[in-house]
Chain A
């Protein structure tokens, strides 16, 4: 482990390339819901990668922003989608699964329903072009 080597740019050095792991198969969509069109934190955001063929979801990765102190990966939503037919029923089930244990207080309470709707809608949009 040599993070002091990998992450420290020495004088005269320049980053010339960034290598990322290959993206998982499927269509990717990022939806950010905010109070104005730009330059604002997400009230709620959804990152979705859905791999589907012939009307069936093979794999899904779901993460949400604005709902926790860190990006929230939802294994519950992914389980609710994987192996199931595409369509509103699956997206609604995934959204419910993702948010069923969510807790919010006071002025943040609206985020639970907002996240549910945003996730449902984002899944529908992600899949529609597959």
Chain B
């Protein structure tokens, strides 16, 4: 069954093939309001509106919940609580489940009288209008028995423990050589602890779902990064077979890792729709997103570096202690990228967790690198200063020849080239030579840099490519475009492989009826789905060529198939050519199609695959107030073949802005007394606004890497966020002479230490 959402470029799109800066083919749909997001799909039957009431304590029990007044309120058709919600499986144990299980496990809602985190759903009101549902929710009276909870990572009685594995299944600890001895003997030593706060994804589109049942079959329109996870999660929660769940998510207003699993609004909508026998739609409010849509956990990271006087690292330790939810573990792998970044014979990394009574942490753009590189790249900067070395030179001197952890060759690694290129473009040689040495009026100017590393993954999956009697190509996969440009990239792959103009390609995504992919996550989307599309195109080409050479009505019958060229909308066999449209009309008027798969091959295991880059930032620090403003920023990246420089640049800029936010302003404040996130809206959770971001320049170094996938591409969705914050933090130090290790570097921490003037 075809999806309702087909995206196609206009005829103007030309022959933009892979590597071209093609405009987004879904762009016009989006800016003209014709791209429906999760909450906006029009169904045949009018839905009822759900509104979630969240707990006003962080931990304890619901003693009584009086819903009578709400039930009688105007427009209300249902009030659901733990007392009358349909039976669901009990939520499983808190330990880190295996990697597949965490994405598919049952996630019951309104299933118990226990409250596990502040704002956890305790009731769902369903009414004819959103406003009526919301008003009625205010009439529900809940009496709680609150229990004391743990809300402070730094509490002296914090329950610290060692997880079995980190997120994404990495070993919790690593050990090489004898760190303690090497560190004690090192002539130059740094021992620094960095603190990073809770952060929230805040995608522009809140989590939302419309659920509709047809007998035992459920259809959900929602906003998700990975269709298969929602299908499995709902099936497990509702106890129905996965094929009974259809998930549709063609357009997503940002995910950033917060939309990888099923969330309370989707389960609520499905439960209510089942009870009512009519469609129900539920969205989280922005305020509800903070507690219910995941977060990056707060953590502190102790970095110890030992080096000889030439700056060669002999000892490196990266030890992480992070907050985790008591009821579901999430161990962000902050020290894992460190294992591959610098050569140091004696290295130790570890991850420990502190149980808090909060909701589970979730993957937030570059989980691991974003937090870990913020700490490590600041530490390297501090060490460079101790050594009197250019920070770039320090990294050059510690460039490993092979992956130090796995002793594998890198598939390609151009960190040094990125740093050198960036230094030249940025004017790194003109940086202030000592902190506080450059003044402009009432501001201190500083430059900073940092290295970027991000692992390159491949997510197994399928795609189908078809061509019809008019030569129109259709690409189908359950892959998602979360704002990254997937529609366009996949169209470009097909256009290039089949030699047709971009405008001849239609792309259908985001429907569980379509071939299964690994979705959008881990920066693997374009590479993985693109590879599946690539193979599907190759298989389709073979079918076309076979039919063209043998079909009795084919104008190319009998032609030499050894040299088959697809180009300019034509198939050329030897010296004979025919347009694909004309060919198809004659030999396969019903169309031809083929499927392709992305699979992890040998090289996935035998090479260490990462993208690399270098960040440069210039800041101005106000000497009176400590206000820090970015003046310019540059990122130079080596990330394999860039499939679309326009969308790729947007990805890098977005990631770099995340780095600025992480360094200077982002923090979700957890009240240690009551366990609630205090600043839960966009007025108080500060992401950089337009006025904060002046010139950001992005450059890609050409890089060929055939070890990852046939496209030669590497994941770039998160690379911009890796190390970017450290470049800004190092610039703040270079400007002000104040080294802060407590993020975000807000002015209250900075100005008291500024030189008085």
Seen from chain A, the residues whose Cβ lies within 8 Å of a Cβ on chain B are: 33-41, 43-44, 107, 110, 113-114, 117-118, 120-121
Complex CA–CA separation, A20 to B686 (angstroms): 35
Complex CA–CA separation, A117 to B629 (angstroms): 18
Are B752 and A33 neighbours in the complex by a CB distance under 8 Å? Answer: no
Complex CA–CA separation, A120 to B757 (angstroms): 11
Are B689 and A38 neighbours in the complex by a CB distance under 8 Å? Answer: yes
Tell me if B751 is interfacial: C-beta within 8 Å of chain A.
yes
Are A35 and B686 neighbours in the complex by a CB distance under 8 Å? Answer: yes
Q: Sample 14 A-B pairs with CB under 8 A, ordered by A number.
A: A33-B625, A33-B627, A34-B627, A35-B665, A35-B746, A36-B686, A36-B689, A36-B691, A36-B692, A38-B690, A40-B686, A107-B748, A114-B625, A114-B748
Tell me if B577 is interfacial: C-beta within 8 Å of chain A.
no
Tell me if B747 is interfacial: C-beta within 8 Å of chain A.
yes
Are B686 and A33 neighbours in the complex by a CB distance under 8 Å? Answer: no
Tell me if B11 is interfacial: C-beta within 8 Å of chain A.
no
Are B625 and A39 neighbours in the complex by a CB distance under 8 Å? Answer: no
Inside 8 A of B43's CB, which chain A residues have their CB? none
Inside 8 A of B664's CB, which chain A residues have their CB? 35-36
- Quote the shortest CB–CB distance from A50 to chain B (angstroms): 18
Complex CA–CA separation, A118 to B692 (angstroms): 21
- Quote the shortest CB–CB distance from A29 to chain B (angstroms): 14
Are A114 and B751 neighbours in the complex by a CB distance under 8 Å? Answer: yes
Inside 8 A of A121's CB, which chain B residues have their CB? 442, 624-625
Closest-by-CB residue of B relative to A117 is B624
- Quote the shortest CB–CB distance from B199 to chain A (angstroms): 15
Are A113 and B627 neighbours in the complex by a CB distance under 8 Å? Answer: no
Q: Assuming A33-B625, A36-B691, A37-B629, what are 6 further A-B pairs, CB within 8 angstroms?
A: A35-B746, A36-B664, A39-B683, A39-B689, A110-B751, A114-B625
- Quote the shortest CB–CB distance from B495 to chain A (angstroms): 41
Complex CA–CA separation, A110 to B748 (angstroms): 6
Complex CA–CA separation, A47 to B238 (angstroms): 60
Are A117 and B625 neighbours in the complex by a CB distance under 8 Å? Answer: yes
Are B442 and A117 neighbours in the complex by a CB distance under 8 Å? Answer: no
Complex CA–CA separation, A33 to B625 (angstroms): 7
- Quote the shortest CB–CB distance from A106 to chain B (angstroms): 12
- Quote the shortest CB–CB distance from A115 to chain B (angstroms): 10
Inside 8 A of A120's CB, which chain B residues have their CB? 624
- Quote the shortest CB–CB distance from B653 to chain A (angstroms): 17
On whether A37 and B692 interact (CB within 8 A), knowing A114-B625, A117-B624, the answer reads yes
Closest 9 CB pairs of A and B: A37-B691, A38-B691, A110-B748, A121-B624, A117-B624, A37-B692, A33-B625, A38-B689, A39-B689
Are A43 and B747 neighbours in the complex by a CB distance under 8 Å? Answer: yes
Inside 8 A of A118's CB, which chain B residues have their CB? 624-625
Are B747 and A35 neighbours in the complex by a CB distance under 8 Å? Answer: yes
- Quote the shortest CB–CB distance from A111 to chain B (angstroms): 8
Inside 8 A of B746's CB, which chain A residues have their CB? 35
- Quote the shortest CB–CB distance from B753 to chain A (angstroms): 11
Complex CA–CA separation, A33 to B629 (angstroms): 12
Complex CA–CA separation, A117 to B683 (angstroms): 26
Are A117 and B747 neighbours in the complex by a CB distance under 8 Å? Answer: no
Inside 8 A of A117's CB, which chain B residues have their CB? 624-625, 751
- Quote the shortest CB–CB distance from B695 to chain A (angstroms): 14
Complex CA–CA separation, A121 to B624 (angstroms): 7
Complex CA–CA separation, A41 to B685 (angstroms): 12
